[in-house]
Protein backbone atom coordinates (compact mmCIF):
# COMPACT_ATOMS: atom_id res chain seq x y z
CA UNK A 1 0.00 0.00 0.00
CA UNK A 2 1.45 3.36 -1.06
CA UNK A 3 1.87 6.36 1.20
CA UNK A 4 -1.41 8.13 1.90
CA UNK A 5 -3.54 5.12 0.97
CA UNK A 6 -5.76 3.34 3.47
CA UNK A 7 -8.58 0.81 3.73
CA UNK A 8 -12.07 1.24 5.21
CA UNK A 9 -13.71 -1.62 7.06
CA UNK A 10 -17.30 -0.86 6.01
CA UNK A 11 -16.34 0.40 2.53
CA UNK A 12 -19.45 -1.09 0.89
CA UNK A 13 -21.54 1.73 2.39
CA UNK A 14 -19.67 4.06 0.00
CA UNK A 15 -21.40 2.29 -2.91
CA UNK A 16 -24.63 4.06 -2.00
CA UNK A 17 -25.37 7.17 -4.12
CA UNK A 18 -25.94 9.28 -1.00
CA UNK A 19 -22.27 8.73 -0.17
CA UNK A 20 -21.05 10.12 -3.51
CA UNK A 21 -19.77 13.67 -3.63
CA UNK A 22 -21.95 16.14 -5.62
CA UNK A 23 -18.98 16.88 -7.88
CA UNK A 24 -18.75 13.18 -8.78
CA UNK A 25 -22.48 13.05 -9.53
CA UNK A 26 -22.24 15.76 -12.18
CA UNK A 27 -20.89 13.03 -14.47
CA UNK A 28 -22.82 9.82 -15.22
CA UNK A 29 -21.87 6.33 -14.26
CA UNK A 30 -20.92 4.16 -17.20
CA UNK A 31 -24.20 3.91 -19.08
CA UNK A 32 -25.70 1.10 -21.17
CA UNK A 33 -23.73 2.40 -24.17
CA UNK A 34 -20.54 2.00 -22.14
CA UNK A 35 -21.33 -1.46 -20.79
CA UNK A 36 -18.44 -2.99 -22.73
CA UNK A 37 -16.13 -0.40 -21.18
CA UNK A 38 -17.33 -1.40 -17.71
CA UNK A 39 -16.93 -5.09 -18.53
CA UNK A 40 -13.40 -4.28 -19.70
CA UNK A 41 -12.75 -2.49 -16.40
CA UNK A 42 -13.94 -5.54 -14.47
CA UNK A 43 -11.80 -7.88 -16.61
CA UNK A 44 -8.68 -5.77 -16.11
CA UNK A 45 -9.24 -5.51 -12.36
CA UNK A 46 -9.75 -9.26 -12.18
CA UNK A 47 -6.24 -9.69 -13.60
CA UNK A 48 -4.35 -6.73 -12.17
CA UNK A 49 -6.46 -5.70 -9.18
CA UNK A 50 -7.32 -2.11 -8.35
CA UNK A 51 -4.58 -0.04 -9.98
CA UNK A 52 -5.79 3.40 -8.84
CA UNK A 53 -7.28 4.01 -5.38
CA UNK A 54 -10.72 5.56 -4.83
CA UNK A 55 -10.52 9.27 -4.05
CA UNK A 56 -12.60 10.61 -1.16
CA UNK A 57 -13.48 14.17 -0.24
CA UNK A 58 -15.03 14.87 3.16
CA UNK A 59 -15.87 11.17 3.50
CA UNK A 60 -17.66 10.92 0.16
CA UNK A 61 -16.53 9.33 -3.12
CA UNK A 62 -15.10 12.05 -5.36
CA UNK A 63 -13.64 9.81 -8.07
CA UNK A 64 -13.81 6.08 -8.73
CA UNK A 65 -17.49 5.14 -8.46
CA UNK A 66 -17.23 2.66 -11.35
CA UNK A 67 -14.07 1.14 -9.89
CA UNK A 68 -15.80 0.86 -6.53
CA UNK A 69 -18.76 -0.99 -8.06
CA UNK A 70 -16.34 -3.27 -9.89
CA UNK A 71 -14.70 -4.07 -6.53
CA UNK A 72 -18.10 -5.21 -5.25
CA UNK A 73 -18.57 -7.47 -8.25
CA UNK A 74 -15.10 -8.99 -7.89
CA UNK A 75 -14.95 -9.10 -4.10
CA UNK A 76 -11.84 -6.89 -4.01
CA UNK A 77 -11.19 -4.69 -0.98
CA UNK A 78 -10.48 -1.21 -2.41
CA UNK A 79 -7.85 1.26 -1.27
CA UNK A 80 -8.69 4.90 -0.64
CA UNK A 81 -6.91 8.26 -0.68
CA UNK A 82 -8.12 11.71 0.29
CA UNK A 83 -8.37 14.49 -2.29
CA UNK A 84 -5.16 16.53 -2.05
CA UNK A 85 -6.82 19.87 -2.78
CA UNK A 86 -5.36 20.25 -6.27
CA UNK A 87 -7.45 21.70 -9.10
CA UNK A 88 -8.81 24.63 -7.08
CA UNK A 89 -12.17 22.92 -6.32
CA UNK A 90 -13.39 19.30 -6.20
CA UNK A 91 -15.52 19.94 -9.30
CA UNK A 92 -12.61 21.23 -11.37
CA UNK A 93 -10.48 18.30 -10.23
CA UNK A 94 -13.19 15.84 -11.33
CA UNK A 95 -13.39 17.56 -14.73
CA UNK A 96 -9.62 17.30 -15.20
CA UNK A 97 -9.67 13.62 -14.22
CA UNK A 98 -12.65 12.50 -16.30
CA UNK A 99 -13.71 14.69 -19.22
CA UNK A 100 -10.95 13.58 -21.57
CA UNK A 101 -10.73 10.07 -20.12
CA UNK A 102 -14.42 9.15 -20.30
CA UNK A 103 -16.31 8.58 -23.55
CA UNK A 104 -18.88 11.29 -22.80
CA UNK A 105 -21.20 12.92 -25.34
CA UNK A 106 -21.34 16.69 -25.82
CA UNK A 107 -24.76 16.65 -24.13
CA UNK A 108 -23.37 14.88 -21.05
CA UNK A 109 -20.49 17.34 -20.83
CA UNK A 110 -22.93 20.23 -21.14
CA UNK A 111 -24.95 18.96 -18.17
CA UNK A 112 -21.77 18.74 -16.13
CA UNK A 113 -20.90 22.33 -17.06
CA UNK A 114 -24.18 23.44 -15.43
CA UNK A 115 -22.92 22.19 -12.10
CA UNK A 116 -19.49 23.74 -12.26
CA UNK A 117 -20.60 27.19 -13.41
CA UNK A 118 -22.53 27.61 -10.15
CA UNK A 119 -19.38 27.48 -8.04
CA UNK A 120 -16.55 28.22 -10.46
CA UNK A 121 -14.12 30.93 -9.43
CA UNK A 122 -11.15 31.31 -11.81
CA UNK A 123 -7.68 31.72 -10.39
CA UNK A 124 -5.57 34.72 -11.46
CA UNK A 125 -3.37 32.30 -13.42
CA UNK A 126 -6.35 30.88 -15.33
CA UNK A 127 -7.62 34.33 -16.24
CA UNK A 128 -4.17 35.52 -17.30
CA UNK A 129 -3.65 32.51 -19.56
CA UNK A 130 -7.10 32.94 -21.13
CA UNK A 131 -6.48 36.63 -21.80
CA UNK A 132 -3.12 36.11 -23.49
CA UNK A 133 -2.97 37.96 -26.79
CA UNK A 134 -5.59 40.50 -25.78
CA UNK A 135 -8.56 38.11 -25.50
CA UNK A 136 -11.31 39.53 -23.31
CA UNK A 137 -12.20 37.43 -20.28
CA UNK A 138 -15.37 35.39 -20.77
CA UNK A 139 -16.36 33.00 -17.99
CA UNK A 140 -18.79 31.08 -20.20
CA UNK A 141 -16.24 30.47 -22.98
CA UNK A 142 -13.63 29.44 -20.42
CA UNK A 143 -15.97 26.75 -19.05
CA UNK A 144 -16.90 25.61 -22.57
CA UNK A 145 -13.20 25.20 -23.31
CA UNK A 146 -12.77 23.32 -20.04
CA UNK A 147 -15.40 20.76 -21.06
CA UNK A 148 -14.64 20.74 -24.78
CA UNK A 149 -18.15 21.85 -25.79
CA UNK A 150 -19.32 24.71 -28.00
CA UNK A 151 -21.24 27.75 -26.80
CA UNK A 152 -24.46 26.55 -28.47
CA UNK A 153 -24.48 23.37 -26.37
CA UNK A 154 -23.94 25.42 -23.23
CA UNK A 155 -26.71 27.88 -24.12
CA UNK A 156 -29.12 25.05 -24.94
CA UNK A 157 -28.52 23.13 -21.72
CA UNK A 158 -28.89 26.33 -19.70
CA UNK A 159 -32.25 27.01 -21.40
CA UNK A 160 -33.38 23.43 -20.72
CA UNK A 161 -32.36 23.76 -17.08
CA UNK A 162 -34.42 26.94 -16.71
CA UNK A 163 -37.37 25.25 -18.43
CA UNK A 164 -37.37 22.30 -16.01
CA UNK A 165 -37.78 24.68 -13.09
CA UNK A 166 -40.86 26.45 -14.48
CA UNK A 167 -44.30 25.68 -13.06
CA UNK A 168 -47.36 25.06 -15.16
CA UNK A 169 -50.30 27.43 -15.00
CA UNK A 170 -52.81 24.81 -16.14
CA UNK A 171 -55.35 24.13 -13.41
CA UNK A 172 -55.45 20.61 -12.03
CA UNK A 173 -52.27 19.47 -13.76
CA UNK A 174 -48.92 18.74 -12.17
CA UNK A 175 -46.33 20.29 -14.44
CA UNK A 176 -47.83 18.77 -17.62
CA UNK A 177 -46.31 21.16 -20.12
CA UNK A 178 -42.85 21.41 -18.63
CA UNK A 179 -40.00 18.96 -18.52
CA UNK A 180 -39.43 17.49 -15.08
CA UNK A 181 -36.12 18.13 -13.30
CA UNK A 182 -35.21 14.47 -13.75
CA UNK A 183 -35.01 15.08 -17.49
CA UNK A 184 -31.60 16.66 -16.89
CA UNK A 185 -30.62 13.38 -15.29
CA UNK A 186 -31.86 11.63 -18.44
CA UNK A 187 -29.59 13.81 -20.59
CA UNK A 188 -26.70 13.03 -18.28
CA UNK A 189 -27.43 9.33 -18.80
CA UNK A 190 -27.59 9.44 -22.59
CA UNK A 191 -30.48 11.53 -23.97
CA UNK A 192 -29.38 14.23 -26.39
CA UNK A 193 -29.93 17.96 -26.07
CA UNK A 194 -31.48 17.99 -29.55
CA UNK A 195 -34.18 15.41 -28.74
CA UNK A 196 -34.96 17.19 -25.46
CA UNK A 197 -35.41 20.51 -27.25
CA UNK A 198 -37.86 18.82 -29.64
CA UNK A 199 -39.91 17.67 -26.65
CA UNK A 200 -39.95 21.21 -25.29
CA UNK A 201 -41.34 22.44 -28.61
CA UNK A 202 -44.00 19.74 -28.47
CA UNK A 203 -45.03 20.62 -24.91
CA UNK A 204 -45.08 24.32 -25.78
CA UNK A 205 -47.49 23.66 -28.64
CA UNK A 206 -49.74 21.66 -26.33
CA UNK A 207 -49.69 24.37 -23.66
CA UNK A 208 -50.86 26.96 -26.17
CA UNK A 209 -53.67 24.69 -27.30
CA UNK A 210 -52.47 24.58 -30.89
CA UNK A 211 -52.95 21.36 -32.88
CA UNK A 212 -50.09 18.88 -33.01
CA UNK A 213 -48.63 18.58 -36.50
CA UNK A 214 -47.66 15.30 -38.13
CA UNK A 215 -43.99 16.25 -37.92
CA UNK A 216 -44.22 17.10 -34.21
CA UNK A 217 -46.02 13.83 -33.53
CA UNK A 218 -43.40 11.84 -35.44
CA UNK A 219 -40.47 13.56 -33.72
CA UNK A 220 -41.89 13.29 -30.20
CA UNK A 221 -41.18 9.91 -28.52
CA UNK A 222 -44.53 10.12 -26.70
CA UNK A 223 -46.29 10.58 -30.03
CA UNK A 224 -44.53 7.58 -31.51
CA UNK A 225 -45.62 5.47 -28.55
CA UNK A 226 -49.21 6.70 -28.89
CA UNK A 227 -49.31 5.73 -32.56
CA UNK A 228 -48.10 2.21 -31.81
CA UNK A 229 -50.39 1.79 -28.81
CA UNK A 230 -53.54 2.95 -30.58
CA UNK A 231 -52.91 0.65 -33.53
CA UNK A 232 -53.04 -2.30 -31.12
CA UNK A 233 -56.19 -1.33 -29.19
CA UNK A 234 -59.55 -2.29 -30.76
CA UNK A 235 -61.89 0.65 -31.29
CA UNK A 236 -64.72 -0.78 -29.17
CA UNK A 237 -62.41 -0.88 -26.12
CA UNK A 238 -61.40 2.75 -26.63
CA UNK A 239 -65.07 3.76 -26.94
CA UNK A 240 -65.97 2.03 -23.67
CA UNK A 241 -63.06 3.75 -21.91
CA UNK A 242 -64.04 7.11 -23.37
CA UNK A 243 -67.67 6.81 -22.33
CA UNK A 244 -66.69 5.73 -18.82
CA UNK A 245 -64.33 8.70 -18.46
CA UNK A 246 -67.08 11.10 -19.57
CA UNK A 247 -69.17 10.02 -16.56
CA UNK A 248 -66.61 10.95 -13.92
CA UNK A 249 -64.97 13.99 -15.50
CA UNK A 250 -66.50 17.44 -15.53
CA UNK A 251 -65.73 21.05 -16.39
CA UNK A 252 -62.39 21.77 -18.07
CA UNK A 253 -61.21 18.20 -17.77
CA UNK A 254 -64.28 16.89 -19.59
CA UNK A 255 -63.87 19.54 -22.30
CA UNK A 256 -60.23 18.58 -22.71
CA UNK A 257 -61.11 14.88 -22.97
CA UNK A 258 -63.72 15.56 -25.67
CA UNK A 259 -61.25 17.77 -27.54
CA UNK A 260 -58.58 15.06 -27.61
CA UNK A 261 -61.08 12.35 -28.49
CA UNK A 262 -62.09 14.37 -31.52
CA UNK A 263 -58.46 14.71 -32.50
CA UNK A 264 -57.85 10.97 -32.10
CA UNK A 265 -60.82 10.14 -34.35
CA UNK A 266 -59.28 12.28 -37.10
CA UNK A 267 -55.62 11.31 -36.75
CA UNK A 268 -55.64 7.60 -35.83
CA UNK A 269 -57.03 4.44 -37.35
CA UNK A 270 -57.85 1.69 -34.87
CA UNK A 271 -58.20 -2.00 -35.53
CA UNK A 272 -61.88 -3.02 -35.72
CA UNK A 273 -61.26 -6.62 -34.64
CA UNK A 274 -62.59 -7.60 -31.22
CA UNK A 275 -60.27 -9.50 -28.95
Which range, of 7-16, 92-101, 235-244, averages the lowest pLDDT? 235-244
The whole-number pLDDT of residue 64 equals 92
Confidence of residue 261 (pLDDT cuts 50, 70, 90): confident
Q: Are 64 and 53 in contact (CB under 8 A)?
A: yes
Q: Which of 65-69, 79-83, 213-217 has the lowest mean pLDDT?
A: 213-217
Q: What is the pLDDT of residues 98-132, one digit of tens each?
A: 877 777 888 988 988 888 887 777 878 888 888 98
Q: 94 and 62 in contact (C-beta within 8 Å)?
A: yes
Alpha helices in 53-212 (DSSP H): 65-74, 90-98, 106-119, 124-130, 139-147, 151-164, 182-188, 193-207
Q: Which helix (H) or strand (E) holds 63?
A: strand 60-63
* Three-class secondary structure of residue 84 per DSSP: coil
State how beta strands 80-82 and 54-57 pair.
parallel
Query: From CA 130, how far away is CA 138, in angstroms rounded?
Result: 9
Average pLDDT for the chain: 78
Q: Could you tell me the domains of the chain? A: 1-87 (3.90.1530.30), 218-275 (no CATH)
Q: What is the pLDDT of residue 83?
A: 94
Q: Quick check: 61 pLDDT over 50?
A: yes
Q: What is the mean pLDDT of residues 229-247?
A: 74
Amino acid sequence: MKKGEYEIKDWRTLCRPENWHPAANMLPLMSASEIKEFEGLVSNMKIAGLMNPITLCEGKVLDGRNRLLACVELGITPRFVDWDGSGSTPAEWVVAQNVSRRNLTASQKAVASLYIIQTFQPTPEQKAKFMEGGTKWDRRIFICNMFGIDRHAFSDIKAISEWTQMKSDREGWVNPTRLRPDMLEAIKNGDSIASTLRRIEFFSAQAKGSPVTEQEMDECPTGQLARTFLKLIPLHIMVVAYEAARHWLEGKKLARLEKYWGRLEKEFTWTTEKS
